Amino acid sequence: MKRFRILSCAAFLLGALPVSAQKAGDPAKGKEVFDQCAVCHSATTDEKKVGPSLKGLFKKAKMTNGQKPTEANVLAIINKGKGTMPAYEDILTKEEKDHLLAYLKTL
């Protein structure tokens, strides 16, 4: 039971944190958008699913394509897709992508 309490506490913190930090994108909304990425990408562990884990993406020196994880470079992957990853150019709105980037930065 103790473990359960710790887990729900962590979940609460994760949910509550992003709300205060709002710029262009809203990380809380981005987390919802990320639901469709989560089948292939872990956000909380280093586990490789279909694609590489995105935990700490913006803190990495390089992505697997050798580029720096800047907003523009990450957005380019989201828009164009990569390997078996689908292109999200027409699937997500600009707003949803802004939220998504804001969320990815919190990882």
Residue 5, burial from CB neighbour count under 10 angstroms (0-12, 13-18, 19+): exposed
**Selection from 44, 58, 52 nearest residue 7 by Cα:** 44
Alpha carbons 103 and 35: distance in angstroms, whole number: 11
42 interacts with ligand HEC by CB under 6 A: no
87 interacts with ligand HEC by CB under 6 A: no
76 interacts with ligand HEC by CB under 6 A: no
Q: Are 49 and 42 spatial neighbours (Cβ–Cβ below 8 Å)? A: yes
Q: Are 106 and 17 spatial neighbours (Cβ–Cβ below 8 Å)? A: yes
From 3-11, 19-27, 56-64, span contacting ligand HEC (CB under 6 A): 56-64
From 3-11, 12-20, 21-29, 73-81, span contacting ligand HEC (CB under 6 A): 73-81
52 interacts with ligand HEC by CB under 6 A: yes
Give whichever of 12 and 72 is closer to ligand HEC, judged by the CB atom.
Answer: 72
Residues near ligand HEC (CB under 6 A) are: 36-37, 39-41, 50-52, 54, 57, 63-65, 74, 77-78, 82-85, 88, 100
